[in-house]
């Protein structure tokens, strides 16, 4: 197996979608993967897929919106290994509601799942990280641009971009690099069902796939790339660079 043998990688929201692709990409490079997710069925399935193909994975049922669940995740990791080399804060949820209908519970659920979790997981991981480690947070282009009815999600992702440079500053002397990725449209369910216009509206002439994000996570967590610090890498086929006025 590959050059990440002996490295320990924690991926939150690893059971499906982008997180699954990230976990598989690191597993293919030989890393030990801790898969943290609330979805027990899909998490255990992915753990088996990685182990059956000769890799090393541990699914730990984790709800990142609950602080004690995060503490428990890292205590379980302690019981296997002494260190964490790479943390990918990927878990996230979305809910589209009018600002007049968004309840405080809705707001708290999205902020706590998407944003507070990134702080808490990063703090736990950083306490276990040797020099040369890395944290990659998954934000969104919705940190920079919006459709209506996305207040809580947009705020959570904007918060991740700000938290990323704050943590990069605080963890600099520990030589831990912290960056984030802002994906645009990454189709995680039905790529074949997309329309032609879905693809051609992008400069890249295609909608994104989870592997587009996974490759960037590998790049940003490589200590050879540690001159990139506190940065937000937009991966969106050019959509946030495309000028759009009604014709």
Ligand X SMILES: NC(=O)c1ccc[n+]([C@@H]2O[C@H](COP(=O)([O-])OP(=O)(O)OC[C@H]3O[C@@H](n4cnc5c(N)ncnc54)[C@H](O)[C@@H]3O)[C@@H](O)[C@H]2O)c1
**Sites of contact with ligand X (CB under 6 A):** 12-13, 15-19, 37-39, 62-65, 90-93, 113, 138, 140, 183, 185-186, 188
**Smallest gap, in angstroms, from Cβ of residue 106 to ligand X?**
14
CB-nearer residue toward ligand X: 68 or 224: 68
CB-nearer residue toward ligand X: 55 or 92: 92
CA distance 157 to 192: 28
**Smallest gap, in angstroms, from Cβ of residue 27 to ligand X?**
16
CB-nearer residue toward ligand X: 4 or 88: 88
Say whether 153 is catalytic: yes
From the candidates 80, 153, 191, 245, give the one annotated as an active-site residue. 153
**Smallest gap, in angstroms, from Cβ of residue 224 to ligand X?**
25
What dihedral do alpha carbons 55, 46, 73, 84 form, nearest 10°? 30
**Smallest gap, in angstroms, from Cβ of residue 153 to ligand X?**
7
Pair 84, 141: CB distance under 8 Å: no
CA distance 52 to 63: 26
CB-nearer residue toward ligand X: 113 or 179: 113
**Smallest gap, in angstroms, from Cβ of residue 51 to ligand X?**
19
CB-nearer residue toward ligand X: 93 or 162: 93
Q: Which residues are catalytic?
A: 153
């Amino acid at each position: 197996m590959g050059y990440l043998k002996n490295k320990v990688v924690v991926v939150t929201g690893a059971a499906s979608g982008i997180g699954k692709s990230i976990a598989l990409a690191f597993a293919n490079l030989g890393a030990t993967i801790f898969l943290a997710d609330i979805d027990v069925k899909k998490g255990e399935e992915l753990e088996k897929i990685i182990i059956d193909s000769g890799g090393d994975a541990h699914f730990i049922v984790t709800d990142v919106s609950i602080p004690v669940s995060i503490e428990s995740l890292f205590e379980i990791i302690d019981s296997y290994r002494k260190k964490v080399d790479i943390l990918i804060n990927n878990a996230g949820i979305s809910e589209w509601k009018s600002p007049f209908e968004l309840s405080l519970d809705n707001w708290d659920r999205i902020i706590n799942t998407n944003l507070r979790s990134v702080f808490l997981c990063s703090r736990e991981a950083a306490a276990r990280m040797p020099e040369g480690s890395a944290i990659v947070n998954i934000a969104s282009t919705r940190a920079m641009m919006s459709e209506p009815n996305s207040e809580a999600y947009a705020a959570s992702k904007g918060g991740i971009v700000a938290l990323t440079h704050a943590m990069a500053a605080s963890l600099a002397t520990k030589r831990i690099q912290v960056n984030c990725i802002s994906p645009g449209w990454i189709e995680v369910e039905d790529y074949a069902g997309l329309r032609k216009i879905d693809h051609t509206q992008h400069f890249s002439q295609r909608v994104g796939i989870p592997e587009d994000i996974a490759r960037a996570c590998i790049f940003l967590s490589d200590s050879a790339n540690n001159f990139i610090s506190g940065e937000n890498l937009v991966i969106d086929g050019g959509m946030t660079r495309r000028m759009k006025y009604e014709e």
